Amino acid sequence: MLSYILPFLFLILVVVFIHEYGHYYFARKYGVGVTDFSIGFGKEIFGWNDKSGTRWKICWIPLGGYVKFFGDRNVFSQADQEKILEKYNENDRQKLFVLKPLYQRALIVFGGPLANFLLALVIFFSIYTFVGKDFTPAVINEVQKDSPAMVGGLKQNDIILEIDGNKVESIMDVSKFITMSTADLIDFKVKRSYDELLLKIKPKVILSEDNLGNKINKRIVGIKLGAYNNEINHVKLGPAQAIYHAVNEVYYVSISSLKYVGGMIMGKADTSQLGGPIRIAKISGQVAEFGILAFISMMAYISISLGLVNLFPIPMLDGGHLMLYAFEKILGRPLSQKTQEGFFRIGLFLLLSLMFFTTFNDLKDLGLLS
């Protein structure tokens, strides 16, 4: 159990700290007072005050964090704007978040998700620069009899060039692109002799195990891959190439995640694969056993997920704040306090529902529920 908890706590500590520091950085840049910088919720374990008056602290419940601004009456940056003008003098008003120009408030809110995307970029850039990236072309060594691949027309010795419009740069991309696909048919672009063919394959979904032994519903097409000419091509990249591929990886993961969420909303995606803190803790411990590189890579993917989820237009999340700012821009004034509180109640209900659903999936994954 400890082997799961410690990697999970380290992972959460890093990605949450980076997220909250994004908010903190832009808040300080625009002169907003920050009273609290907290990793976790609930009772404080330990903390300290810096020279600007910010309380930096670690709290008992490590499932998130927050930056509380000067003048806010709660951690969701709610404040009674009318009362603020009466409560604070001119000097203190300069430090109030709610009185800053709209674009500054939007940047402060967007700073958290932005920091998560930047963390993932730095991780991928570092891996591609110092460890390298695989560019081994994917060749089909075997097409299983009566499999979706055979039915769809894939053949032995086909070189896979693209899957669903995504360029296959490495043999490792094939499994990733098949797994992340959500459509009923997967488009395969292959090279056969001197011809390029576009084939549509209908994958089969089977109950399987991932590389860590976790039960998953896996999409398979029935092919076995090998390296082109049996040569592995793993190279360290220069800065320009490394940043290009890092940006491409962050973009791909973000778009694929959005497609998955869209698929869930439309009832097409497999919701049983949606996990919460328990599953993340379990996988964190399993991945950590594979070494630091695998663990750091997972941290990048979790950071992207955190940044992306926080941009959803759900009140209480960063995206919810940005949605309210969009209304403010259109109307020329902030929404009334009562309206904003109504939105926050809806957001709280949605987040609690999501938390219940993911925890239910986590408990099923652990075999505690049937």
In this structure, is residue 370 part of a structural domain?
no
Averaged pLDDT, 38-67: 91
Q: Which H helix or E strand runs over 188? A: strand 186-192
- Residue 113 sits in the same domain as residue 219: no
The answer to whether residues 139 and 122 belong to one domain is: no
Q: Which of 8-12, 24-28, 224-228, 356-360 is the most confident on average?
A: 24-28
Residue 20: active-site member: yes
Q: Which two tokens stand for residue 87?
A: 């409560």
Q: Which pTM value belongs to this model? A: 0.83
Domain range enclosing 202: 133-235
- Would you say residue 275 lies in a domain? no
Separation between Cα atoms, residue 111 and residue 20, nearest integer Å: 8
Domain check: are 122 and 17 in the same one? Answer: yes
What residues contact residue 82 under an 8 Å CB cut-off, 6+ apart?
none
Smallest CA-to-CA distance from 366 within 264, 254, 277 is with: 277
% of residues, the chain, pLDDT over 90: 41
Assigned domain for 105 exists: yes
**What's the structural domain count of the chain?**
2
pLDDT in tens, 201-218: 999 888 776 655 666 677
Q: Which residue has the higher pLDDT, 289 or 132?
A: 132
| 366: enclosing H helix or E strand | none
Distances (CA, A) of 32 to 213, 274, 328: 48, 37, 20
For residue 76, pLDDT over 50 is answered with no
On the question of pLDDT at 242 being above 70, the answer is yes
Burial degree of 336 (CB within 10 A; 0-12, 13-18, 19+): exposed
pLDDT in tens, 247-300: 999 998 898 888 877 777 776 666 555 555 555 656 666 666 767 888 898 899
Do 6 and 113 belong to one domain? yes
Residues 6 and 120 in one domain: yes
Average pLDDT of the chain is 83
The residue from 208, 235, 262 where one domain ends is 235
| Mean pLDDT of the region 80-105 | 78
Percent of the chain with pLDDT over 70: 81
Kindly state whether residues 36 and 96 are assigned to the same domain: yes
Q: Residue 201 maps to which CATH number?
A: 2.30.42.10
Q: What is the pLDDT of residue 332?
A: 86
H/E element holding 59?
A: strand 55-69
Instruction: Check whether residue 116 and residue 158 sit in a common domain.
Output: no
Contacts of 342 (CB under 8 A, 6+ apart): none
- Note whether residue 199 is domain-resident: yes
Among residues 210, 235, 260, the one where a domain terminates is 235
* 99 and 148, same domain (yes or no): no
Q: For the chain, where are the alpha helices, taking DSSP H only? A: 2-29, 81-87, 90-93, 102-126, 148-152, 171-180, 239-265, 277-288, 292-310, 318-331, 337-365
* Residue of 20, 90, 289, 341 marked catalytic: 20
CB–CB of 131/123 below 8 Å?
Answer: no
Pairwise pLDDT comparison (90 vs 253), residue with the higher score = 253
- Domain's final residue, options 188, 204, 235: 235
